[in-house]
Structure 1
Amino acid sequence: MASRLPSLLLLVAVLSAAAHHAYSAKDYPSTGWTRIKGVEEQQHAVDIARFAIGAYNRKMDDSLLFVRMIRGYVNGKYYKLTITCIQREDRYEENVKDWKYETLVYEEPNMPRQLIYFKDFF
C-alpha cells in the first residue's frame, strides 16, 4: 500500500490539473453573451444559480442562501449570473444586508454542471 501512495498522489494531481484546465475561467468566452430576459422568472437560470451557491458553499464551507436573480447572460453552454445572497444564520433577521455575487457555470446536457467561478460583485 505504501508503494502505491506516490502513484496515487501523482494521479490525483494530474487529474486535478486536467479538470482545472478543462473548466478554467480564462477559457470561457469573453464576447458573444446574450442577456437572459426576465431572468428572475426563468426557472432554469434560477436552478443554475442555486447550483452555484451550493457548490460554493461546499467548497468554501459557507452557508449562503439564494435571495434573487439580478441579471443573467448565456453564451452557448456558459451561464454568467448576477445574484444576491444572505448568510443562512441571518435568514430570520430584519433589515439583513444581502450581498451581490457573480457566478459562471458551465452546463452540458447529460453532464454534471461545473462551477467556474463565484465572486463578489461590486
Structure 2
Amino acid sequence: MKLRSFESSDSTIICSWIKDKYSLYQWSADRIGKFPLSGNELNEFYSLMKSKGEILPLTAVDDENKVIGHLFIRYPDNTNKKIVRFGFVIVSPLLRGHGYGKKLLQLATTYSKEVLNASEITLGVFLN
C-alpha cells in the first residue's frame, strides 16, 4: 500500500463504499449531508476545501494502483501548521478487518511528519 494525491477519478470509487445515510454521516461527520453522495459532489466539496487551503486529500492504492483507502489531512488551526488532523478516513469494505486502516493511518502519519513537518497529529472521531 502507498499514498498518493487524491485524483478526481477516485471519488466515484470512494463514494461507492458508502452504502447508506448513516455510513455517510459516520464518515463525513455530517459535513456532507446528502445521500447518496456522488463522485461529482465529493469532487466539488474537495475543490472548495482545497481552494481555501483547508485540506489535503490522499488516496491509498495497492501494488496494482487500485484505490483501496482514503483520508484527508487538515490543519485544525491555520495559524499552527505543526498540528494536523486526519479526517474522512475510509477503507474499501472488501478489505476491512485486515489491518488496512491501521496501515493507512501509519502511512499518513509518516507523510505528516516527513513531508508536512507536523509535530502533533490528531484523528477526527465521534461516538456512534
Question: Greater RCO between the two (CA within 8 Å, min separation 6)?
Answer: 2
Larger radius of gyration: 1
More strand by share: 1
Q: TM-score range by the shorter chain?
A: under 0.3
TM-score by length of 2: 0.26
